[in-house]
């Protein structure tokens, strides 16, 4: 069984000093954890914060910084880690005893109708990027975000439709995580290829705008797409989301994180952020079994062919209890086995469904 995690924000941590060879107390992903977790492949997302949405040049420069740092970090562990761009190369890498690193771009902010955007998109493809999350928490030139109360485009922009068409042509997957509900339906209407939600959950189980409604999941599956379940407790459990949002820790932690990100090699700021992480993980967090609940819900709606795993590790400050980092991934598949999933089902959830549309 090939185990794939379709979304980890590890490149953001690499530029803040993450050592992929190990020894990261609060890090969710590194090589030893990947091996212990029996994870055969992972998408490293080049995450661009929404503050870059208004400046495509700065967004492109930041994406290139993340890309360069990620390639350098992977090359240092070339005996253990290797880049992959498709299903065949990933399976070959596994046979050779190596973990596959795929690349995704989270937020299409570098793409602007005022720039040579087709060349930029082609350059990302040639560098190995195989999906683009159309936006993040802000409305950009491509579409509206689910995090914004006031839409800019009421869905996908006219330019966004051009971007989707070009991604279809190149073979870059369209990632609908983070986009507004209206933009989601616009993407399904205009995309000629199946699309993926690389790190989302079910709104029926946790009422959060980042999650997908039952109708959205059915529509995604009807077009051959896949939803990859996110591990973030706020997306798994409405009760925990309410408790955390009402706590002082959430507000205070965001300020400390901002300070840390602005100066990640400052020991005092790094330690302050580490203390916030420690306190978050001391909270009574929902069980990792809720991940299986969300998988169950998708299966109950559309069958086992349209669901997978996209943890959002290294992009979430708090994890479910029992799934503190990627080394614990086998527990999730053991839980699914206990719920009656066959090995054939597990192979689909672990990677088969995602690989079907990646090619």
The answer on 221 and 108 residing in a single domain is yes
pLDDT (0 to 100) of residue 319: 96
The pLDDT of 317-336, averaged and rounded, is: 97
The answer on 271 and 328 residing in a single domain is no
> Into how many domains does the chain fold?
2
* Residue 328 scores a pLDDT above 90: yes
The answer on 55 and 26 residing in a single domain is yes
Last residue of a domain, one of 221, 255, 285: 285
The answer on 119 and 192 residing in a single domain is yes
pLDDT (0 to 100) of residue 190: 98
The answer on 88 and 196 residing in a single domain is yes
Percent of the chain with pLDDT over 90: 92
The answer on 52 and 10 residing in a single domain is yes
Instruction: Work out the number of other CB atoms within 10 angstroms of the CB of residue 90.
Output: 25
Residue in the structure block whose two tokens are 């689909």: 348
Last residue of a domain, one of 229, 260, 285: 285
CB-based burial, 329-350: b 16+ in 10 Å, e otherwise? bebbbebbeeeebeeebbbbbb
The answer on 252 and 155 residing in a single domain is no
The answer on 97 and 124 residing in a single domain is yes
Nearest to 112 by CA among 104, 121, 99: 121
The answer on 271 and 126 residing in a single domain is no
Tell me which of 219 and 247 has the higher pLDDT: 219
* Residue 243 scores a pLDDT above 90: no
Split at pLDDT 50, 70, 90, the class of 23 is: confident
* Residue 252 scores a pLDDT above 90: no
The answer on 350 and 219 residing in a single domain is yes
The pLDDT of 334-338, averaged and rounded, is: 98
Split at pLDDT 50, 70, 90, the class of 316 is: very high
Instruction: Work out the number of other CB atoms within 10 angstroms of the CB of residue 11.
Output: 26
pLDDT (0 to 100) of residue 230: 98
The answer on 322 and 297 residing in a single domain is yes
Range of the structural domain that residue 97 is part of: 4-237+287-358
The answer on 140 and 275 residing in a single domain is no
Q: How much is the pTM?
A: 0.97
Can you give the three-state secondary structure of 58-103, one letter per residue?
Answer: HHHHHHHHHHHHHHHHHHHCCCCEEECCCHHHHHHHHHCCCEEEEE
pLDDT (0 to 100) of residue 127: 98
Last residue of a domain, one of 285, 315, 342: 285
- Residue 104 belongs to domain with CATH number: 3.20.20.140
Q: Which of 23-27, 248-252, 301-305 has the highest average model confidence (pLDDT)?
A: 301-305
Nearest to 11 by CA among 50, 61, 62: 62
């Amino acid at each position: 069984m090939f185990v794939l995690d379709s979304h980890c924000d590890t490149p953001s941590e690499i530029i803040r000093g993450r050592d992929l060879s190990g020894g990261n107390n609060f890090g969710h992903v590194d090589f030893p954890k990947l091996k212990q977790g029996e994870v055969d492949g992972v998408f490293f997302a080049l995450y661009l914060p929404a503050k870059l949405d208004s400046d495509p040049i700065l967004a492109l420069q930041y994406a290139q910084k993340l890309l360069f740092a990620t390639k350098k970090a992977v090359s240092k562990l070339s005996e253990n880690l290797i880049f992959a761009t498709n299903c065949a190369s990933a399976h070959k890498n596994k046979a050779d005893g190596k973990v596959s690193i795929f690349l995704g771009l989270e937020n299409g902010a570098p793409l602007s109708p005022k720039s040579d955007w087709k060349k930029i998109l082609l350059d990302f493809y040639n560098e190995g990027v195989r999906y683009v999350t159309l936006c993040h928490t802000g409305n950009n030139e491509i579409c509206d975000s689910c995090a914004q109360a006031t839409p800019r485009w009421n869905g996908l922009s006219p330019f966004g439709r051009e971007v989707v068409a070009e991604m279809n042509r190149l073979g870059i997957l369209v990632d609908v995580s983070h986009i507004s509900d209206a933009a989601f339906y616009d993407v399904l209407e205009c995309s000629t290829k199946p699309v993926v939600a690389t790190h989302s959950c079910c709104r029926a189980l946790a009422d959060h705008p980042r999650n997908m409604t039952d109708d959205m999941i059915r529509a995604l599956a009807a077009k051959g797409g896949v939803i990859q379940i996110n591990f973030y407790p706020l997306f798994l459990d409405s009760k925990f989301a309410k408790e955390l949002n009402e706590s002082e820790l959430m507000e205070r932690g965001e300020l400390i994180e901002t300070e840390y990100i602005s100066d990640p090699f400052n020991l005092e700021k790094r330690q302050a952020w580490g203390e916030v992480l420690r306190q978050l993980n001391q909270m009574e967090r929902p069980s990792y079994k809720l991940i299986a609940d969300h998988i169950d819900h998708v299966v109950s709606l559309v069958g086992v062919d349209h669901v997978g795993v996209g943890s959002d590790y290294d992009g979430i400050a708090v994890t479910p209890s029992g799934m503190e980092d990627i080394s614990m991934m086998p527990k999730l598949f053991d839980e699914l086995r206990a719920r009656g999933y066959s090995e054939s089902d597990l192979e689909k959830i672990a990677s088969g469904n995602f690989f079907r549309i990646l090619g």
